[in-house]
């Protein structure tokens, strides 16, 4: 009897998910030899001292499983940092968990809190993992647009979106892709709006240390009413220029952390041991993250000065390492088509902001990443000068 191998058909849990825009644009950039300012990661190395601390941990034999919640010294360093910067003291044993990057942290927070049929508010444009994460939990995605053009939160629209079924809201400041930073007033408005509810906040703060022009990041940890209901997510990869290490953390009240850890222990269990020990040793000196605003503001200002010589109109970049521009004076193409044209004909890759909307809303705005070496930015700007 002949045997014919058969791969079973399955019903996709994410039927609407395909190849991400970042993969598409990076492939197009490589194909055309373009300067890739699309994907959000540095093209320069992190501090060699940090690499040395990790290597030292490996040599000292710290290579087996760490505690599920994270290396105690690293959790304590995080608790001290949050207390120093934001005035809220988390218990390092019961309220801080080390994660395999911020994306895993956000998924875990959603899986820990969202049940089938629960509604979760996302503020668009938003990072592309939020919606699939909610769908995997069986939740209902409720999309609320940030104000077009300014990308500021519209609290009337958020209030209208809240129903008895609302389980959580995901907020992101400093904001990817727009680069806006929520103000103290806006955070207080969010706190007041949520006060009478049992809504959980998932606060994506991965760019917390990249804020410009003398402004300060307003973490959810700064506000007692928000801290009491928030999973605060951050990323060592973004802070220390090592995005490929995929390590972050979540700070949350003990009762929320207990539920978070129930999921965490089964979807990742624990995170790279020597990297945790290396980070704990490196964090003794706060200077690297305290100096980060000045480091990136110089790059932002350099990039914006070059953009001023083109017909692209730079929008405000208050934080993150992203710069959005209005393309209206350059082309009638859609954002997506313009990015493809820009990559193939001008030799610079960018990301259409429409890709961050479920509806593909097109407001003639594209996003560049300036977390690049000065030579990379100069090369990109020389090409953009043709516009």
Name the percent of the chain lying above pLDDT 90.
95
**Which residues touch 24 (CB under 8 Å, ≥6 apart)?**
none
Q: Name the DSSP class of 212.
A: -
**Backbone phi and psi for residue 286, each to the nearest 5 degrees, phi listed first:** -80, -10
Q: For residue 18, what pLDDT band results from cuts at 50, 70 and 90?
A: confident
2 or 25, higher pLDDT: 25
Average pLDDT over residues 241-269: 97
Which tokens belong to 78?
């995080």
pTM above 0.85, yes or no: yes
| Domains annotated on the chain, with CATH | 21-46+290-384 (3.90.1150.10), 48-288 (3.40.640.10)
The CA–CA distances, whole Å, from 8 to 11, 234, 344 equal: 10, 39, 40
Q: Would you state the pLDDT for residue 125?
A: 98
Question: Over 80: is that where the pLDDT of 1 sits?
Answer: no
Which tokens belong to 55?
């290597």
* Token pair 């320069």: residue: 44
Each residue's pLDDT tens digit, 28-82: 999 999 999 998 999 999 999 999 999 999 999 999 999 999 999 999 999 999 9
Q: Would you state the pLDDT for residue 22?
A: 85
Q: Is 114 helix (H, G, I), strand (E, B) or coil?
A: coil
Name the percent of the chain lying above pLDDT 70.
100
User: Angle of helix 72-86 relative to helix 273-282, nearest 10 degrees?
Assistant: 40
Q: For residue 312, what pLDDT band results from cuts at 50, 70 and 90?
A: very high
Q: Judge whether 210 and 238 are in contact, CB under 8 Å.
A: yes
Question: Over 80: is that where the pLDDT of 255 sits?
Answer: yes
Average pLDDT over residues 258-267: 98
d(CA 28, CA 244): 21
Q: Is 191 helix (H, G, I), strand (E, B) or coil?
A: helix
Element housing 157 (H / E): helix 155-161
Q: Is 270 helix (H, G, I), strand (E, B) or coil?
A: coil
Each residue's pLDDT tens digit, 269-292: 999 999 999 999 999 999 999 999
On the question of a cis peptide bond just before residue 125, with omega within 30 degrees of 0, the verdict is yes
Q: In what order do the strands lie in the sheet with 313-314?
A: 313-314, 322-326, 365-369, 351-352
d(CA 5, CA 239): 48
């Amino acid at each position: 009897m002949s045997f014919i191998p058969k791969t079973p058909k399955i019903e996709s849990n994410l039927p609407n998910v395909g190849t991400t825009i970042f993969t598409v644009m990076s492939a197009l950039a490589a194909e055309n030899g373009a300067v890739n300012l699309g994907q959000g990661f540095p093209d320069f190395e992190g501090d060699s001292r940090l690499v040395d601390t990790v290597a030292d941990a490996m040599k000292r034999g710290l290579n087996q499983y760490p505690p599920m919640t994270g290396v105690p010294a690293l959790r304590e360093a995080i608790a001290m940092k949050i207390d120093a910067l934001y005035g809220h003291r988390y218990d390092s044993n019961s309220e801080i968990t080390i994660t395999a990057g911020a994306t895993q942290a956000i998924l875990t927070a959603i899986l820990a809190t969202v049940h089938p049929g629960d509604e979760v508010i996302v503020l668009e444009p938003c990072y592309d993992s939020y919606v699939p994460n909610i769908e995997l939990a069986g939740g209902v995605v409720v999309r609320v647009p940030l104000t077009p053009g300014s990308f500021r939160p519209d609290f009337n629209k958020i209030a209208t979106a809240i129903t008895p079924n609302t389980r959580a809201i995901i907020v992101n400041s400093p904001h990817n892709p727009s680069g806006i930073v929520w103000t103290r007033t806006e955070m207080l408005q969010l706190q007041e709006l949520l006060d009478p509810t049992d809504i959980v906040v998932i606060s994506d703060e991965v760019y917390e240390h990249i804020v410009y022009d003398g402004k300060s990041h307003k973490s959810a940890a700064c506000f007692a009413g928000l801290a009491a209901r928030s999973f605060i997510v951050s990323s060592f990869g973004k802070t220390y220029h090592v995005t490929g290490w995929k390590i972050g953390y979540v700070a949350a009240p003990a009762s929320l952390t207990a539920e978070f850890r129930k999921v965490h222990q089964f979807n990742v269990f624990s995170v790279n041991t020597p990297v945790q020990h290396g980070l704990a040793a490196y964090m003794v000196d706060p200077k690297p993250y305290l100096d980060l605003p000045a480091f990136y503001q110089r790059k932002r200002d350099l990039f914006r000065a070059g953009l001023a010589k083109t017909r692209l109109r730079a929008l405000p970049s208050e934080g993150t390492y992203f710069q959005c521009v209005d393309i209206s004076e350059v082309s009638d193409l859609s954002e997506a088509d313009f990015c493809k044209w820009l990559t193939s004909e001008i030799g610079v890759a960018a990301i259409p902001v429409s890709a961050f909307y479920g509806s593909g809303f097109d407001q003639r705005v594209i996003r560049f990443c300036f977390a690049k070496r000065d030579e990379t930015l100069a090369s990109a700007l020389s090409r953009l000068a043709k516009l």
